[in-house]
Amino acid sequence: MKKIIISTVAVSALLFTVTSCKTDFDTDVKDIQVSKGSADFSKYVALGNSLTSGYRDGALYIDGQNESYPSMLAGQMKLVGGGEFKQPLMGDNNGGLLLPIGGGATAQIQDTKLYIKGFVDGAPDIGPINNNKAANLVSNILKGPFNNMGVPGAKVAHLLAPKYGDIAGIAGKTANPYFVRFASSPNASVIEDFASQNPTFFSLWIGNNDALLYALAGADNSIETLTPPAQFKTYYDMLISKIEATKAKGVIANIPSVTSIPSLTTIPTNPLTAAVLGKGNVAAGEAAIDDLNKNVYGPLSQILTALGAGDRIKPLSKTAANPLLIKDESIPNLGAQITAAAAGSGNPTLVMLSAYLGATYGQARQAKSGDLIPLTTKAAIGTLETLPAPIPASLGARGVAYPFADKYVLIPSEVKEINDAIDAYNVTIKAAATAKGYAFVDANAKLKQLAGDSGISWDGVKYTAKFVSGGAFSLDGVHLTGRGYGVIANEFITAINATYNSSLPLVDPNKYSGVTLP
Partner 1 sequence: MKKILVSTALLAGVLSYAGGFRVSLQGVKQLAMAHTSAHAEDASVTFFNPAGMSFIPSKLSVVAGGFGASNKVTFQNLNTLQSTETDNPLGTPIYAAITYKPIEKLSVGFSFSTPFGSTVKWPENWEGKEMVQKMELKSYYFQPMVSVKLAPWLAFGASYIYARGKVDWDKAVTQFNGTVNINDEKASGHGYGFGFYFRPDPKLDVSIAYRSAIDMKAKNGTATFKFPTQTPYSLLKLNAAGQDGFSATLPLVEEYTIGLTYKVTPKWQVSADFNYHGWERYSKLVLDFDNAPLATNNPSDPTVLVNPKNFRNSKTFRLGTQYAFTNMIYGRLGAYYDESPYTNENFIPETPSFDTYVITGGVGFKLKQFGVDIAGGYAMPQYRNVNNANLGFYGQAKARAFYFGLGLSYNPF
Binding residues for partner 1, per CB under 8 A?
3-4, 7-8, 10-11, 14-15, 17-18, 21-25, 27-30, 32, 34, 118-119, 122, 453, 456-462, 466, 469, 471, 490, 505-508, 510-511, 514-515, 517-518
Q: How far is the CB of 466 from partner 1 (least distance, A)?
A: 8
Contact 138, 36 (CB under 8 A): no
Contact 325, 293 (CB under 8 A): no
Q: Of 21 and 389, which CB lies nearer to partner 1 in the complex structure?
A: 21
Q: Of 17 and 386, which CB lies nearer to partner 1 in the complex structure?
A: 17
Omega of the bond prior to 390 within 30 degrees of 0, cis?
Answer: yes
Q: How far is the CB of 270 from partner 1 (least distance, A)?
A: 16
3-state helix, strand and coil shares in percent for the chain, rounded to the nearest 5? 40, 15, 45
Q: Of 10 and 435, which CB lies nearer to partner 1 in the complex structure?
A: 10
Q: What number of other Cβ atoms are within 10 A of residue 422's Cβ?
A: 25
Contact 516, 116 (CB under 8 A): yes
Instruction: Determine the Cα–Cα distance for residues 253 and 213; give it in Å rounded to an integer.
Output: 18
Q: How far is the CB of 410 from partner 1 (least distance, A)?
A: 25
Helix (H) or strand (E) holding 108: strand 105-110
Q: How far is the CB of 24 from partner 1 (least distance, A)?
A: 6
Chain-centroid distance of CA 507 in Å reads 22
Q: How far is the CB of 122 from partner 1 (least distance, A)?
A: 6
Q: Of 125 and 311, which CB lies nearer to partner 1 in the complex structure?
A: 125
Q: Of 416 and 462, which CB lies nearer to partner 1 in the complex structure?
A: 462
Q: How far is the CB of 78 from partner 1 (least distance, A)?
A: 14
Radius of gyration of the chain (CA): 28
Instruction: Determine the Cα–Cα distance for residues 503 and 95; give it in Å rounded to an integer.
Output: 35
Tallying the residues shown for the chain, one arrives at 518
Three-state SS for 510?
helix
Three-state SS for 402?
strand
Q: Of 22 and 143, which CB lies nearer to partner 1 in the complex structure?
A: 22
Q: Of 111 and 491, which CB lies nearer to partner 1 in the complex structure?
A: 491
Q: How far is the CB of 287 from partner 1 (least distance, A)?
A: 30
Q: How far is the CB of 342 from partner 1 (least distance, A)?
A: 42
Contact 455, 462 (CB under 8 A): yes
65: which strand partners?
Answer: none
Instruction: Determine the Cα–Cα distance for residues 422 and 444; give it in Å rounded to an integer.
Output: 10
Q: Of 205, 201, 183, give the one whose Cα is nearest residue 246.
A: 201
Q: How far is the CB of 496 from partner 1 (least distance, A)?
A: 14
Q: Of 10 and 351, which CB lies nearer to partner 1 in the complex structure?
A: 10
CA distances from 411 to 144, 309, 378 (A): 44, 18, 16
Q: How far is the CB of 119 from partner 1 (least distance, A)?
A: 5
Q: Of 225 and 503, which CB lies nearer to partner 1 in the complex structure?
A: 503
473: which strand partners?
Answer: 480
Q: How far is the CB of 314 from partner 1 (least distance, A)?
A: 26
CA distances from 28 to 24, 25, 32, 78, 234 (A): 9, 6, 7, 21, 49
Q: Of 179 and 512, which CB lies nearer to partner 1 in the complex structure?
A: 512
Instruction: Determine the Cα–Cα distance for residues 209 and 194; give it in Å rounded to an integer.
Output: 20
Q: Of 400 and 465, which CB lies nearer to partner 1 in the complex structure?
A: 465
Contact 423, 401 (CB under 8 A): no
